[in-house]
Amino acid sequence: MKVPLPAAYAGFEVRRDLASGEFAIATPSGARFRAHEWTWGERRRLLEGAKSRGDFDRQTFVEGLCELVLAPAPPPEERPALACLMLELFGVSERSPRRPLVRVEVELARRFGWTPQSLDGNAAPALDAVAALAGGDAATSDTEAWTSIEVEGDDGTGF
């Protein structure tokens, strides 16, 4: 199934295999990649790794995201645009509500009795949707949450 994309991703083509959930991606340069949807645990560990030295490290996040979900691993020049595209496909964009993952985990545990281990292997976008529909603390904004990710290419252009 072809996935509609915002205008910012002109030249990219994305198709989703509805049986496996995988994405097939063609970039404007003609490169092709397969991507799997990140799990709750993968996202949590990636964010922890990108903040392991204190402040959020965008480069570590971009490289980690591309290595985590894309096959084959894209060349460095393709990574910023692909990372932004993947975040869009996963429902993480400037329009997304800002929710700290720990707060969402606590809310899901309270409402449904789910433990962090039971969340780990589930698709993060699906759990985000459940948390948003459940309301409560999980759906509120928080000043400690990250609010955006800005990715710049080596030439200074951003997405």
The pLDDT confidence band at residue 69, using thresholds 50, 70 and 90, is very high
pTM for this prediction: 0.78
Q: Mean pLDDT across the stretch 11-15?
A: 95
Query: What pLDDT is attached to residue 136?
Result: 54
- Contact (Cβ atoms closer than 8 angstroms) between residue 12 and residue 5: yes
pLDDT, tens digit, 9 for 90 and up, residues 84-105? 999 999 988 665 666 778 888 8
Q: Where are the domains of the chain?
A: 7-89, 101-139
pLDDT confidence band for 42 (50 / 70 / 90): very high
